[in-house]
Amino acid sequence: MPYQTTVGSLTYRFADLKTLLAKASPARSGDALAGLAADSYEERMAAKIALADVPLQRFLDEALIPYEADEVTRLIIDSHDANAFAPISHLSVGDFRDWLLLDSTDSSTLSAAARGITPEMAAAVSKLMRNQDLILAAKKCRVVTRFRNTIGLPGHLSVRLQPNHPTDDLRGIAASMLDGLLYGSGDAVVGINPASDSPATLMQLWRMMDELRQRFEIPLQSCVLTHVTSQIQAIEAGAPIDLVFQSIAGTQKTNESFGIDLALLREAHAAALSLGRGTLGDNVMYFETGQGSALSAGGHHGVDQQTCEARAYAVAREFRPLLTNTVVGFIGPEYLYDGKQIIRAGLEDHFCAKLLGVPMGCDVCYTNHAEADQDDMDNLLTLLGAAGITFIMGIPGADDIMLNYQSTSFHDALYLRSTLGLKRAPEFDAWLAKMAITEASGQLRPIGRGHDLLRTF
């Protein structure tokens, strides 16, 4: 059905709900590239005004991508919890924003409503929100997950230790792991992006990380970020796999371009659960997402990139992951042109995922050809810390020498924890104290040459 609003003497008409959502989106280069963005600031504001009056129920009645044509749409509709939706079912998108910001809408209220909120509802309300609204509402969302430690507790920040190496050299990777551990990083996951897809190389990486974990009794989990089919085969071959990784997106066509579908993810989830390697919980999946992937794959169906991204969180939510993160600035300036767009996208992604009940982190990052720099990343890092981000990346010097992009360092995690008073996962924190890496206060101790971890080299 068409939507319209009158501003002054002008009447703006929008053909359908997906057009309205696209026109109401904050400016970003990807939507302009796709021909979906508003033609002017006036049209964007008119779309926001019209969107504010749309009932939330409309998102259950008007699918952006047809139910018959897309399995992610079917997942969203078929898994919708009508009972959880009932308390907010009478609201419009504008009313929903106001409800989210009420003091009386607390963490337990949001958790109870999560399964009743669709990704499209979350994306829609985010388009009406200022950055501070996104921070305030996300801060109230609580999503706690467990494998060998506990992630997502209030007042905590975890770090993915990312020890990538351009040749998958085991000693080089181990050195980066050691560096990260001595800076108190690694409680989210030790996750390697391999340079090679060789099964023999991948097996060496899994075994090396697991041997180090067992030798020092570290309460962490590891992951090699290769394709899910390779991980299923490795599980069958006896690899010591903790978390199964996969990049996911918000449409069936985009996921097909990644070589996956929901059935394959279900197979991988079952395979990981069958290993029973978690000691505290059974959240065994790790997903990565990012705005622009659907457009890049030609799988966006005329839906704006932020709404497509939010739909990916329905896929993540289905498999109860330990971790999900948006690699927000990695895709490049064709989709998020500059620091302003990257910052906004990171806050949107975190808010939408947490609202839907997904444990959300962010790779606060940019590529060298984007109009962004480390000051922009400092700003986004600080804003996400205030918003209650689940985890960030920890990379030596913030410079990934294998993937060739700029992210966050072990020192950045120390800055954020110190500035905002954030703690590590409690089990990991206790291990750091036991190993004399930290003081009882949580601050790092000077490490001498005789430290147990250093004797491994």
Tell me the mean pLDDT in the region 189-204.
97
Angle among Cα 208, 211, 216 to the nearest 5 degrees reads 130
Task: Place 448 in a pLDDT band, splitting at 50, 70 and 90.
Answer: confident
Sign of CA dihedral 196, 201, 202, 204: negative
Q: What percent of the chain has pLDDT over 90?
A: 94
Backbone φ and ψ of 289, nearest 5°: -140, 180
pLDDT at residue 456, rounded to an integer: 67
Structural contact between residues 324 and 288, judged by C-beta atoms closer than 8 angstroms: yes
pLDDT bracket for residue 440 (50, 70, 90):
confident
> Is the pLDDT reported for residue 44 higher than 90?
yes
Contact 22, 36 (CB under 8 A): yes
Distance CA 410, CA 213 (A): 19
Reported as a single tens digit per residue, the pLDDT across 72-130 is 999 999 999 999 999 999 999 999 999 999 999 999 999 999 999 999 999 999 999 99
Q: Give me the residue label for tokens 């948006």.
A: 326
Share of the chain above pLDDT 70, in %: 100
> ∠ CA(273), CA(274), CA(280), 5° rounding?
50
Q: How far is the C-alpha of 1 from the C-alpha of 61, rounded, in Å?
A: 11
pLDDT for 457? 61
pLDDT of 303 over the 90 cut? yes
Span 226-231, mean pLDDT? 98
DSSP-derived 3-state class of residue 224: strand
pLDDT value for 8: 85
Task: From 357, 365, 455, select the one nearest 115 (Cα to Cα).
Answer: 357
User: Which candidate, 329, 312, 391, places its Cα nearest to that of 359?
Assistant: 391
Rounded Cα distance, 5 and 260, in Å: 41
More confident residue, 419 or 446: 419
Q: Residue 423 in 3-state DSSP?
A: strand
Looking at every residue in the chain, the average pLDDT score rounds to 96
Confidence class for position 450, pLDDT limits 50, 70, 90: confident
Q: In the prediction, which pLDDT does 441 show? A: 86
Phi, psi of 179 (to 5 degrees): -55, -50
For helices 119-126 and 17-24, the axis angle rounded to 10 degrees is 40
State the residue for tokens 């992009």: 405
Q: Which of 306, 309, 329 is nearest to 408 (CA)?
A: 329
Residue 449 has a pLDDT of: 75
pLDDT (tens digit, 9 = 90+) per residue, 315-362?
999 999 999 999 999 999 999 999 999 999 999 999 999 999 999 999
Q: What is the mean pLDDT of residues 23-37?
A: 97
Q: Is the pTM of this model over 0.85?
A: yes
